[in-house]
Each structure stands twice: as C-alpha cells, then as structure tokens.
Structure 1
C-alpha cells in the first residue's frame, strides 16, 4: 500500500490498532478480517485482535438497553490502550462511535470511557483514507464493480468517498455507479426479521438497480448488507459476485464470493 509514508519509513511509532472483527465476519466470513489486517499492516499499523464480544447493536435496536450496556462495557474494557479501534463495518463502528455515548449519557463513571473509545473508533476505509492518508493500494482486480453505500456507514460516519478513492487507485477496476446506491438494501438487522415483507420489497428494488449496472461484482462495506443482497441475487438466479470491499482492496479474492460455492464462482 502506498500514497503515504509508513510510520516505519519516517521513524514514527507504528499506530497500535485493535481490530473489532464483528460477529458476522467472525462467524460467516473470516476472510474479511484477514483482508482488514493486511490493509492495516500494509499501511504501517501494528494490528491486534483482542478477545471481544458483540458491540450490542441487535439488543440496542430491540430496546434492550440493559444487555446493550453489559456488552458495551465489555467492549470498552477489551479495547483500552489501543491508539485506534477499526472495524470493517460502518454498522458496528457507528454503534460504538455514535451510540455508546448516548447509551451511557446518565452514567458519570462510564460516559467518559464511552466518549474516549468513540473518539478513536473508525470504519476501515475511513481510517485508511482520513486518518492515515492512504491514497493507493497495491492490488489489482480485473473487471467492473458497483458499490452499495450501507446506511450506518453513510449516515452515521459519512463513509462514501473513501472506498471509492481506494478502488479508483487499483489497476483494472472500473466502478459503475448504480441508481440509488445510498438507499437501504432492506436488511437493517432485526428490521429484516420484524418487517420481512417491507424488507423483501426494498431488497427487490436494490437488486434491480444492481443488475441494471451490468457490473459482474457488487461491493459494500458491511457484511450484513452483503449477505442480504447476495441472498436475493442468488434466489433470482443472478450470477453476480458479491464481496466485501476489503477483500478487493487487499487483493484477497481466493475465497468464493458471498453465497457462492467454489464451482459457482466466476472470478
């Protein structure tokens, strides 16, 4: 990775980054975690993965503040001492950065800790571009891609230009923007379970916009959204490869696309 001098090259101390892996990445797509580590290390960081738990977002969105606080306290303690906390998910990073301070706003003991953690927590591509100043990744990918802007990353963290800047630096990549790239895919965590009919209609519209680009690959920065869209495209028989943007940026595409078996993968 290039575009900015690494800490090692300038004699500066390497930033110590705690990677918040996220539950879905850990359980469903570990390759995203490994790609994130590669991108961060290539950018000059020391990366550690502490023992961690859920950020608490499902409980928070369901109104269970007690469980959310218990989980949040564990996260705050697990990530003490790191220069930065980085997550390959705008959703989980948004929970920590935007909602932990709200969660503890009536607790003078935990509120300063929540604010301190929020201040050093970032979504992956935002951290690379906005904090480290990375402008180019040393990876190539041959083909057209389209990009979905996940709700939390876009609206809570203003993640939009950062992944596009990094993709534009890659050899062989052509980004084809879809209509309404910033409109929800219909997942929304527990929303998809509670309001399945509405969720289904939303992802149906999203799938049509994806298909209209004729790009063979769909990218995004949140695995929940990616799994939702990959499921819809698969059910519709559309052979569109779905991947997390970190996998492309790191040049780590040996794993089949999300929701595809190895013999189905066209790239």
Structure 2
C-alpha cells in the first residue's frame, strides 16, 4: 500500500523520531511511505483558539497536499482529530462548499497510526521488541475525539519483551490541552502533578502515548522531577526490533 505521512508540527520541530519510526514501521510491514513536502500545520491551533477563518488557507493547503493519496497516516491523535472533525466544518463556515467536500474526502482517508495498523492493515503484532516496563497514557483527542479505544494497547500487548502495566486514572487529561497549559497554567500544573503521580506509581521505565504534545507535557514534568521515567511515542516502540537500530532505548 502507498501511504502518505502527515508528520505534524510537533514531530517536525521537537519529536522527529516519532515520524521516522512511523516510516520505518510501515516500510518494515511492506508498505511504501511518501512524505509530501508541501505539508504544513493542520490549523488546529487556530481553530481551537477562535481564529477559524485564519485556518482556512491551512485547510486548503492540506487538502491540496494530501488530496492525491488514497491513505494518509499521522502519528498524532490530536492532528488526525483536527483533520477529521474540523477541516470540513471550517471550510463550510467560510462559505467554501467545494473545499468542504474535498476536506471531508481527505478526512475519510486519514488515520491515526494505531487505527491504520489495526483497522486498515489488519495487524496487531508488528514484529516489535522492546524490553521495558511500559505504561500507556491514552490522550484526550485519541480517546474522546477519534475513539481509538484499546487499539494502541492491543498493539503494545503484542510487543515482545514489553511489560505493560495499567496506568491508574488513565482517562484523566494530563493538563496540556494546547494553549490551555498557557492560559490556565496553575490548573494545568495541578493536572500534570496528578498524572505524574499515577505514572510513577506503576514503577514503569517508560510512559508511552500517541500524541507528542502530551508526551512533551508529561515528559517535561518527569524530567524536572528527575524521576528516571522516559516518555516515548508509541510509534518508536512499535518500530523497535531486536537489532536495536530502529528505535534505540
């Protein structure tokens, strides 16, 4: 299958290993992955902060960039959620019905990584090896907007050497929420403290998630605590093998 990678802004600037791991994983499974160089921000930040009209050019660019591809994957529940649940509405609200229709078509072909693996490619055992104690944080957008359910956990359970431990109060938000963490810093910090306490209670070496934004928030807090727990994108775990070349610990 020929799959277009939508890398996202955070992967591009702060978490490139998540995007690289996505490519390596899919290629290992026998698929061709292409990276459309014209891609930019999906516009979620603009929409979520009340600047939907400013997001229209970004939606138009996204549709033009990914329109030619039959399947689009992104290692981000947050950005997949924006494409699937915001783009067509943003275009329609701006009075561009043609763009709205095209955006809806692209949205229907766009998948978060775990959705693509389980629902489209029909695979749960991706041949990964990751000998660490891991707990999984289900991010708000993947859980509540995309409703990916237990797909990421099903994938992690098939990873050889991985000891998956449940995260208490897993469904609680980590407190990031994009600009929420900036505008409501005290509340965000309190929510982060709760999340870190639950992560540390598991005794895990690694906290995994499917969104770089949450990993950045949780990882920053754990680093300041010098807790010795790393945050790792699920794509890096699924791309890891016994050789250790693809996603080193």
Normalised by the shorter chain, which TM-score bucket?
over 0.9
**Normalising by structure 1, what TM-score?**
0.88
Residue of structure 1 equivalent to 2:55: 68
Does residue 137 of structure 2 align to residue 148 of structure 1? yes
State the alpha-carbon separation in 2 of the partners of residues 24 and 212 from structure 1.
Answer: 28
CA distance in 2 between partners of 1:71 and 1:193 (Å): 23
Aligned to 2:132, the other structure's residue is in SS state: strand
Whether the 8 Å CA contact 1:22–1:92 is kept in 2: the answer is yes
Match for residue 10 of structure 2 among 15, 24, 49: 24
Structure 1 counterpart of 2:232, from 236, 243, 253: 243
Alignment of 1:94-243 (within 5 A): 94-106=81-93, 107-243=96-232
What's the TM-score, normalizing by structure 2?
0.94
1:43, 1:134 within 8 Å by CA — same for their partners in 2?
no
What is the Cα deviation at residue 141 of structure 1?
A: 1.0
Give ranges in structure 1 of 5+ residues lacking alignment. 1-14, 255-266
Please report how far the alpha carbon of residue 185 of structure 1 lies from its aligned counterpart in structure 2 after TM superposition.
0.6
SS in 2 for 1:133: coil
Q: Secondary structure at the match of 2:82?
A: helix
Q: Secondary structure at the match of 1:226?
A: helix
Please list the CA deviations of residues 145-173 of structure 1 after superposition, one character each: whole Å capped at 9, or x if unmatched.
00000001111111231111111111111
**Mapping of 1:27-66 within 5 angstroms?**
27-51=13-37, 52-66=39-53
Q: Name the count of aligned residue pairs.
A: 241
2:68 to 49, 61, 81: 81
Partners in 1 of 2:54 and 2:73 — Cα distance?
23
After superposition, the C-alpha distances for 1:79-126 in whole angstroms (9 at most, x for unaligned) are 011111110000000000111122123422211101101100000111
4+ residue runs over 6 A deviation = none
CA offsets 1:183-229 (integer angstroms, 9 cap, x no match): 11111111111111111010010000000111111100000100100
Calculate the aligned-residue CA RMSD, in Å. 1.1
Q: CA offset at residue 135 of structure 1? A: 2.0
> How far apart in 2 are the matches of 1:32 and 1:44?
19
Any conservation in 2 of the 1:149–1:182 contact (CA below 8 Å)? yes
